[in-house]
Amino acid sequence: MRGRSVGFVPTMGALHEGHMSLVKRSRHENDINVVSIFVNPTQFGPSEDLEKYPRDIAGDIRKLRETEVDILFLPEPQFIYPEGFSTSVTVNGISEKLCGRFRPGHFAGVATVVTKLLNIVRSTRAYFGQKDFQQTAVIKQMARDLNMDVQIVACPTVREQDGLAMSSRNVYLDKERRKAATVLFQTLHEASEMIRSGGKASAVRDAMARRLAGEPLITKVDYASLYDPGTLDEIGEMGGEVLVAGAIRLDETRLIDNVLVRP
């Protein structure tokens, strides 16, 4: 493959238009395109949804064929984690913020599997979604820290018509909860408007909390606030670009979303 660029999109399958936007971008920018589907057990906590995580290999293959992907990498768990596997990649600091506080070990699971996948595929570029802002930040940091010879490309979030960020997990939502789920993006959107019109961080935060508290089908708000997109620390005052991010639970279904705003 000398001289030819390779684009790689790692996924956990149940592919939707969000995934496919990454695949299309990769196709546009590279000569050879690789997609992986691997539901990585080490990034799920003991009480999380590994067993019931949506799987649709036949549908995924059809979509990848239609998009003319060259290679689908579909490893078995024992290929990725053979007996005796004993290494873990931990990205300190940013892995502990936001989702990291609620999903201990999650980002070490992600960083480890992405390291393995990148080492196996050895692509020129690898594509990740802004929807998982923290995940993309962790991977960028890791690639930098470990001198990985790959360009990490972040792609914008693809949404449903009503604003809900596309996610494989959206299929868990019944009709009522699917409708209620839009409150997350609405909250982020309203917060962005407040920021753009000069709102103070504390006022925006309070408005976000009130908006989410108004939706009775939300069983828990893990977090919803304003963060520095570089450090992922909560911000006290407006300065440069702001990451408005939230994670909520509707019963068992955990949804995350974020938008970047310039005050």
Fill in the per-residue mask, 177 to 206: x = in contact with ligand AMP (CB under 6 A), - = not in contact. Answer: ------------------------------
Question: Which residue number, 167 or 225, has a Cβ lying nearer to ligand AMP?
Answer: 167
């001198």: which residue's tokens?
147
59-91 burial: b if 16+ Cβ within 10 Å, else e: ebbebbeebebeeeeebeeeebbeeeeeeebeb
Interface with ligand AMP by CB under 6 A: which range of 81-89, 152-160, 191-199, 206-214?
A: 152-160
Residues in region 119-148 near ligand AMP by CB under 6 A: 128-129, 131-132
Catalytic position from the list 19, 28, 106, 189: 19
Spatial CA neighbour of 200 closest among 212, 188, 191, 211: 191
Instruction: Out of 155, 191, 235, 248, name the contact with ligand AMP by CB under 6 A.
Output: 155
Q: Which CB atom, from 155 or from 184, has the smaller least distance to ligand AMP?
A: 155
End-to-end Cα distance, the chain:
45
21 binds ligand AMP (CB under 6 A): yes
Q: Of the listed pieces 19-27, 184-192, 205-213, 218-226, which binds ligand AMP according to CB under 6 A?
A: 19-27
Least distance from ligand AMP to the Cβ atom of residue 222, Å? 17
11 is an interface residue for ligand AMP by CB under 6 A: yes
- Concerning whether 19 is annotated as a catalytic residue, the answer is yes
Task: Collect all residues with Cβ–Cβ distance below 8 Å to 210 and sequence separation of at least 6.
Answer: none
**Rounded CA gap, 151 and 128, in Å?**
11
Contact (Cβ atoms closer than 8 angstroms) between residue 44 and residue 50: yes
Output 133 or 227, the one with its CB closest to ligand AMP: 133
* Maximum pairwise Cα distance, the chain: 57
Q: Which neighbouring-strand residues pair with 244? A: 226, 259
Q: Which residues contact 52 (CB under 8 A, 6 or more apart)?
A: none
Residue 33 CB, nearest distance to ligand AMP (Å)? 14
| Of 206 and 252, CB closest to ligand AMP | 252
Q: Which of 33, 157, 170, 192 binds ligand AMP (CB under 6 A)?
A: 157
27-49: b (≥16 Cβ within 10 Å) or e: beebebbbbbbbbbebbbeeeee
Contact residues for ligand AMP (CB under 6 A)? Answer: 11-12, 18-19, 21-22, 128-129, 131-132, 155, 157-158, 165-168
Active site residues: 19
